[in-house]
C-alpha cells in the first residue's frame, strides 16, 4: 500500500464487502457516505438484474459499495494525496478536486480492500463522469449513483430517467442524466474530459 494511503487504512480487511465497507466508512467518520454506498449497492444490484445486458449482480453490488470509499479523504487532502501517489492529474481535477474522488475510490478499492477485478475497479473509477466506451457495469453503477441522490430533495431528472430506463433500457437512462448535466455545464466548476467523452459517445 502506498504510504499516502496508510492513514486511511484500517488494518486487515476480512469479510464481505457489504460488511467491511460500511464499517470502514463509519470508523473514519463518513456516516453519510456509508448510507449512500448502501443505497448505491442496492440499486446497482437491482439494475443489474433488470437490464437487458448481462451484468453480474454481485459485481454491481460490490462496485456500488466501493464507489465512494474515498469519502474518508477530506476534500482539501484529495489533490495532495493523488499527487503523492503519482497520479496524472487532469486540469479539471485540479480546478475541482472533488472530481478526483472517483479515481481515489478505485485506488482504495484496490490497495485497501484488495479488489483486483478490472471491471469493478473501472466502474468505481468512472462512476461520477462515466467515460467513452463505457461497459454495462460502468453504466449500472453510474446510474445507481444518480438514482441514489445524496442531496436534499428529489432529483429533478429521476422520473424521466426511470421512465426511459424502463421503456428503452440502460443507455436511454444514461442519456437522460448526461443530457441533464450537460445542459447545466456552464454552472459547473469544471467539465471533466471523461464526461465530455461520454456525452459525445452516447449522445452524438
Q: What does the pLDDT look like over 36-46, one tens digit per residue?
A: 999 999 999 99
Lowest mean pLDDT segment, chosen from 50-59, 71-80, 137-146 = 50-59
d(CA 142, CA 138): 6
pLDDT of residue 152: 75
pLDDT of residue 129: 97
Q: What does the pLDDT look like over 63-79, one tens digit per residue?
A: 999 999 999 999 999 99
Lowest mean pLDDT segment, chosen from 4-18, 48-62, 107-121 = 4-18
CATH number of domain containing 180: 1.10.3210.10
d(CA 98, CA 86): 18
Residue 137 structural domain: 3-203
- Please give the share of the chain, as a percent, with pLDDT higher than 70: 98
Cell of 13: 480487511
Give the CA-trace dihedral at 168, 161, 58, 87, to 10 degrees.
Answer: 120
pLDDT of residue 12: 59
CA distances from 201 to 34, 52, 177 (A): 32, 20, 14
| Confidence tier at 13 by pLDDT (50, 70, 90) | low
Ranges assigned E (strand) in 21-177: none
Q: Which of 4, 3, 13 is CA-nearest to residue 112? A: 13
| Confidence tier at 116 by pLDDT (50, 70, 90) | very high
**Which residue is listed with cell 448502501?**
38
**Which residue is listed with cell 430506463?**
165
pLDDT of residue 89: 97
Average predicted confidence (pLDDT) for the chain: 93
| Confidence tier at 163 by pLDDT (50, 70, 90) | very high
| Number of folded domains that form the chain | 1
Mean pLDDT of 177-196: 95
Amino acid at each position: 500500500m502506498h504510504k499516502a494511503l496508510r492513514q486511511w487504512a484500517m488494518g486487515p480487511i476480512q469479510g464481505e464487502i457489504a460488511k467491511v465497507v460500511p464499517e470502514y466508512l463509519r470508523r473514519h467518520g463518513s456516516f453519510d457516505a456509508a448510507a449512500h454506498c448502501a443505497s448505491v449497492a442496492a440499486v446497482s444490484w437491482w439494475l443489474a438484474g433488470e437490464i437487458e445486458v448481462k451484468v453480474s449482480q454481485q459485481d454491481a453490488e460490490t462496485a456500488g459499495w466501493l464507489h465512494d470509499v474515498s469519502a474518508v479523504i477530506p476534500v482539501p487532502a484529495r489533490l495532495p494525496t493523488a499527487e503523492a501517489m503519482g497520479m496524472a492529474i487532469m486540469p479539471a481535477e485540479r480546478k475541482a478536486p472533488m472530481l478526483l474522488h472517483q479515481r481515489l475510490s478505485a485506488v482504495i478499492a484496490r490497495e485497501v480492500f484488495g479488489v483486483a477485478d478490472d471491471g469493478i475497479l473501472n466502474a468505481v473509477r468512472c462512476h461520477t463522469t462515466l467515460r467513452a466506451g463505457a461497459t454495462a457495469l460502468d453504466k449500472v453503477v453510474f446510474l445507481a449513483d444518480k438514482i441514489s441522490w445524496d442531496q436534499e430533495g428529489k432529483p429533478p431528472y429521476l422520473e424521466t430517467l426511470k421512465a426511459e430506463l424502463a421503456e428503452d433500457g440502460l443507455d436511454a437512462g444514461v442519456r437522460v442524466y448526461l443530457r441533464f448535466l450537460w445542459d447545466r455545464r456552464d454552472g459547473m466548476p469544471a467539465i471533466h474530459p471523461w464526461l465530455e467523452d461520454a456525452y459525445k459517445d452516447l449522445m452524438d
